[in-house]
Amino acid sequence: MSAAARARLGAVSYLNSRPLVWGLERSPRFDLRYDVPSRCADLLHEGAIDVGLIPSIEYLRGVADTRYWIVPDISLASRGPVASVALYTSRPIADVRSIAMDVSSRTSVSLVRILCARRFGIAPTAEPQSPDLPAMLARCDAALVIGDNALFFDHESKGLTKIDLGDEWLRLTGLPFVYAFWAGRSGALTARHVDELQRARDGGVARAAEIASDLYADAPRRAIAERYLRDNMKYTLGDDERAGLERFYRYAAEAGCVRDAGRLRFY
């Protein structure tokens, strides 16, 4: 791709991705669109976008013989509680026999399978459902919900327990968890594209308060959003995040979520 070419970029529509796309709507190098994580992955697999902020598990699910490449040093990650990826239940986790899985998610579904086997010691059935928590819990013992729906849900007022999957992963492995990153086909980005994505990340991370203020008019949500962007979310892909990602891929392969653990390739 030439330095002047515009790359088709598929971003996630949730709050947590906003620091990664700071100013990119005005960039001459990118055409930007927003979708839920699962749709970002589908668009990349279909070739409808050049690069997507895809769920990390989808890196191993490229169509045919396509191999994806990762934009270096950028991710959506957490080291401990993430607040926006959680299981909700009204019963002890040891008693959970069925889980409704948010269809917006793919990485978190695999993470649930791993945690159930390796941390909770249960083998529940899984049922894909739209992220409507009351409806999910009417059918299943627990529900996986991700994104803004999980971040802003007042589970305590409903008498529910919230099990934060970022926290559970850290307790299991001692490592960060990587939920998503920019990935695309070989040649989809130039060094200038990569540099602009990294600079957008740096600018967005420094503006957590501004992003929260732009998106939420009411003070309580604004405060939750700012704290989430500042304290829960991490946006780098350093050595610890890579180790966490490789551990996740190994566990996912052992659990049958993917064919193999693959290999990380970077632009």
Residue 3 has pLDDT above 60, yes or no: no
Q: Is 59 helix (H, G, I), strand (E, B) or coil?
A: helix
Q: Is 22 helix (H, G, I), strand (E, B) or coil?
A: coil
What is the percentage of the chain residues whose pLDDT exceeds 70? 97
pLDDT value of residue 61:
83
Burial of 250 (0-12, 13-18, 19+ CB in 10 A): middle
Residue 213 has pLDDT above 90, yes or no: yes
Q: Is 45 helix (H, G, I), strand (E, B) or coil?
A: helix
Task: State the average pLDDT over residues 252-259.
Answer: 93
Report domain extents, the chain.
7-78+177-254, 85-173
Q: Does the global pTM surpass 0.75?
A: yes
pLDDT tens-place string over residues 37-90: 889 999 999 999 999 999 999 999 865 557 899 999 999 999 999 999 999 999
pLDDT value of residue 1:
62
Architecture, CATH, for domain 85-173: 3-Layer(aba) Sandwich (3.40)
Task: State the average pLDDT over residues 1-27.
Answer: 88
What is the percentage of the chain residues whose pLDDT exceeds 90? 91
Domain covering 7-78+177-254, topology = D-Maltodextrin-Binding Protein; domain 2 (3.40.190)
